Structure 1
Amino acid sequence: MNLQELNAYAIAGKVDELNLISLEGGIYLIEARIHGAAYPLNDAHGQALHLRSVEHAREVLHSFPRLPFNLIHTSVHDEMCGLGASAGENLKVPIAFRTV
């Protein structure tokens, strides 16, 4: 899903929430949750849209209607210990969609 498609879904009220996923190395990705399914946000080339920070995500989404917005920190602890990732270990924190 690209920005224009995501904006159209958001305006139509079909987006349940947006999740900003924090990855190791200071990379952030956005996924839209629509009817329980996750749709990653892609750039113009169909690749995952990489963001630099929470503020960068807010800048990209500035023209969107307000939506529930969460910061997701994935747990690397299990992977570091060789046990495999567990979806239940992610930390999900609601954050403000806009700073003002």
Structure 2
Amino acid sequence: MNLQELTAFAHAGRVDELNLISMEGGIYLLEARVRGMAHPLNDFNGKTIHLRSVEHARDLLHTLPKMPFNLVHSVVHDEMCGLRDVDEQTLRVPISFRSTW
């Protein structure tokens, strides 16, 4: 899904939530959940867009209507040791869609 498609889906009320996924190395990826399915945000060439921060994501999404927006971190044990946690739970923190500055 590219930004133009995400914008159309969001204004039509079809996006359930947005997840900003924190990756190793200070990279963030954005996924839109539509009917329970994850759709990563890609550029017009189909390559995944890498974001630098929460504020970078907010700047990119400023034209979208307010919706649930979460910061998602993978299991710490996976990142530290390369081991899978039995429950395989991720840390999901709701964040504000608009900056509080």
Same fold (TM over 0.5): yes
Quote the Cα distance in structure 2 between the aligned partners of 1:42 and 1:87.
30
Match of 1:73 in 2: 73
> What one-letter code is carried by the residue in structure 2 that aligns with 1:42?
N
Q: Which runs of no fewer than 5 residues in structure 1 stay unpaired?
A: none
Percent identity for Structure 1 against Structure 2: 65
TM-score (norm 2): 0.90
TM alignment of 1:40-59, pairs within 5 A: 40-59=40-59
Cα pair distance change 1:53/1:79, threshold 3 Å:
closer
Paired residues, number = 100
TM-score (norm 1): 0.90
- The Cα of 1:44 is off from its aligned counterpart by 2.0
Please identify runs of 4+ aligned residues in structure 1 that moved more than 2 A.
78-89
- The Cα of 1:10 is off from its aligned counterpart by 0.3
Aligned-residue Cα RMSD (Å) equals 1.7
Match of 1:3 in 2: 3
Quote the Cα distance in structure 2 between the aligned partners of 1:90 and 1:20.
12
Q: Which runs of no fewer than 5 residues in structure 2 stay unpaired?
A: none
